[in-house]
Structure 1
Amino acid sequence: MLRILLGVNLLALAAALVQSQGVQDSLQHFIDMAAWVQPLLLFNLALLAVLGNSLQRAPAWIGRTLVLLLAAASAIVLSALWSHLIFADAGGGGQALLRAGLLAALAAGLMLAYFALRAGALSPALVEARLQALSARIRPHFLFNSLNAVLSLIRADPRRAETALEELADLFRVLMRDHRELVPLADELALCRQYLALEKLRLAERLHVEWDLAPDLPLHLKVPPLMVQPLLENAVYHGIEPLGDPGTIRIRLARRADALQLDIVNPCAGGDEKPRGSHMALDNIRERLALYYDLEARLDTDAVALGDGRHEYRVRILLPCRAQRQ
């Protein structure tokens, strides 16, 4: 919807520039045109939202034809109503109505062509290749840090190192899976608990974890693999470890209407800057969320100064709570 709103208004702005003599004149043309375009655009978006499921079930060429006819018909009806109620003396007859319908159909056709080109650029083969490359980037980082955690225990506490190796073997087994496919949220949380247990063996009382899971949490919801674990890894290596003092990582998951909200909060030493070294994981997850969910998912980060002089680093992810097509 956002792309349609921006695209049609850009087309209206281009039309205003073509019809005008100067910049100021074009601005007035665009305002006059927007008074007609915006109600028509919002009306068509509302109809497409209502008829979306029916149009998707039809063959592609039929669905596109219906969209063009819908745009043309609604433009003709709105133009006739607009002329009758407000500009009765500027109706222009049937030619003006036909012109309005053709212009609306042309704008709808251009937007459909844009979406067709975009769908081709995001074809399943290209998306899978990109997801595989992103997963391959995050795996060595994860394994390197986990091995370092085990190596730090071998001499100091062999028994604890043996337990850590068992945990690490389970984590390796998870990493060998195909990471292009979505996994249940319950599996992703189980992986996070295993990882934090491994770090707890290394950091002992320096690491505390608080889980806050809502009772209605949709544990069956499919989410991208390795979505939460890299964030916890950042929280440990760039938050807890540099401080030297005990610290707490807070993990909260809740459902907000039709969205899943994940919050991760950890103490940090800096002020308003991002922890150094965390950009790769954050950028990686943000790009994978865009490939899976387009504009429906969001990852936000913020460094907050508390009243007692401490600082916290906060990460929030919002995901749509709906079935994903593979």
Structure 2
Amino acid sequence: MRVPPPDFRNPGMLVRTLLLIHLLVLLTVAVGSEDLVSWVGGSVEMAGIVEWPLMLCLTVLYALAPWLRRYSFRCVAICAIVLAEVSLLLCFPWLVRLSEPQSPLRWSLWTCAAASLAMAYLHWRMSAAAPAIAEARMLALNARIRPHFFFNSLNAVLGVIRTDPRRAEQALESLADLFRALMQENRELVTLQQEIDVANRYLDLERLRLGERLRMDWDLRHCPLDALVPPLMLQPLIENAVYHGVEPLAEPGEIHVRIAQRGRDLHIRVVNPLGGEIKHLSGNRMALANIRERLGLFFDLEAHMENGPRDGCYEVHIRLPLKKEEK
């Protein structure tokens, strides 16, 4: 399985790299320390020396991240190791003033070893995450449509097939399109337009059953339709809103969906009435936990999801980095 290159603009990737390098500093000093005091003092001194070339290297990698994504992990790893050595050479004239004179060769070897271990760790982590992403996609596929939805849709089609055959035909087409989208492999991110189309197919079927009780308010005025998002993310949010918010109501219920770009982030909000059934909130947990897990696998710490009752409604708010297909 091909391991994609690391994204050095991902906060989680940067934090893990920083922690790993400083852990190596602690282990390096511990080898030659005789007691706790010398170990702590030596660690502080070495960390102060390592910090300058480390921050310079990560800053350059951050700037080059869009360009590095075009190459293999091996090429990016070699580039990162070379860049670490160059950063050390650039900072070394100032670093020798902070501590006792030390051999440049010794620092060069340590830097090469530390950078190699860091890249090996990132390779291991991304290799381990790849099967997890595939498994999460399969779990998402298996849990995407509740069994009751399929049978309710067929019963609704049977209910109108004689009185309104054209509407029944359109409903079956929507059902076929929806299941076609659900049965795709969905190995990569998809455009927001595709997600909205799948959600609308689902809503067409639910309107056949709920009629005027189901009302939708789409706010897409500031929505970049070519933004990339995890596959099959929006439809389960709306399905939860229908099942837990609109269906328990005797009167019509409205679901508000607002998708907007703010700076470099994409914000998705889905708001539905509580339906007078607080106990239904527990039913949201499985689908929302699945979405939260997939957001973490795709975007690490860059994505964030909040959900819960707010102002008499139930709101799900997702923030994720804005990404678009490279042309």
User: The TM-score by the shorter chain falls in which range?
Assistant: 0.7 to 0.9
1:301 pairs with 281, 306, 315, which one? Answer: 306
CA distances 1:170-207 after superposition (whole Å, capped 9, x unpaired):
23333224242444322321221232233234334433
2:148 pairs with 140, 144, 157, which one? Answer: 144
CA distance, structure 2, for counterparts of residue 145 and residue 69 of structure 1? 56
Tell me what 1:15 maps to. 28
Give the counterpart letter for 1:72 in structure 2.
E
CA distance, structure 1, for counterparts of residue 43 and residue 212 of structure 2? 64
Structure 1 stretches lacking a partner, 5+ long: none
Of stretches 218-227 and 58-67 in structure 1, the one that deviates more from structure 2 is: 58-67
Structure 2 stretches lacking a partner, 5+ long: 1-13
1:261 pairs with 267, 271, 278, which one? Answer: 267
Once the two structures are TM-superposed, the CA of residue 58 in structure 1 deviates from its matched residue by: 6.7
Once the two structures are TM-superposed, the CA of residue 44 in structure 1 deviates from its matched residue by: 0.4
TM-aligned CA distance change 1:235 to 1:140, over 3 Å = closer
Q: TM-score under structure 1 normalisation?
A: 0.78
Give the counterpart letter for 1:235 in structure 2.
A
Tell me what 2:175 maps to. 171
Tell me what 1:220 maps to. 226
Q: Retained in 2: the 8 A contact 1:185–1:219?
A: yes
CA distances 1:134-181 after superposition (whole Å, capped 9, x unpaired):
34313442x532432553686699747973663243233332242424
Once the two structures are TM-superposed, the CA of residue 257 in structure 1 deviates from its matched residue by: 2.4
Alignment of 1:312 with 2:283, yes or no, is no
Alignment of 1:211 with 2:224, yes or no, is no
Aligned positions, number:
310
1:41 pairs with 54, 60, 64, which one? Answer: 54
Map 1:107-186; keep pairs closer than 5 Å. Answer: 107-122=114-129, 126=131, 129-130=134-135, 133-141=138-146, 144-149=148-153, 151=155, 159=163, 163=167, 166-177=170-181, 178-181=184-187, 182-186=189-193
Once the two structures are TM-superposed, the CA of residue 299 in structure 1 deviates from its matched residue by: 4.3
Alignment of 1:283 with 2:289, yes or no, is yes
Q: Retained in 2: the 8 A contact 1:253–1:260?
A: yes
TM-aligned CA distance change 1:115 to 1:256, over 3 Å = same
Q: Retained in 1: the 8 A contact 2:161–2:168?
A: no
CA distance, structure 1, for counterparts of residue 169 and residue 282 of structure 2? 28
Q: Kindly, what percent of the aligned residue pairs are identical? A: 31
1:187 pairs with 162, 187, 194, which one? Answer: 194
CA distance, structure 2, for counterparts of residue 18 and residue 244 of structure 1? 71
SS at match of 1:276: helix
SS at match of 2:231: coil
Once the two structures are TM-superposed, the CA of residue 38 in structure 1 deviates from its matched residue by: 2.5
Give the counterpart letter for 1:68 in structure 2.
I
SS at match of 1:225: coil
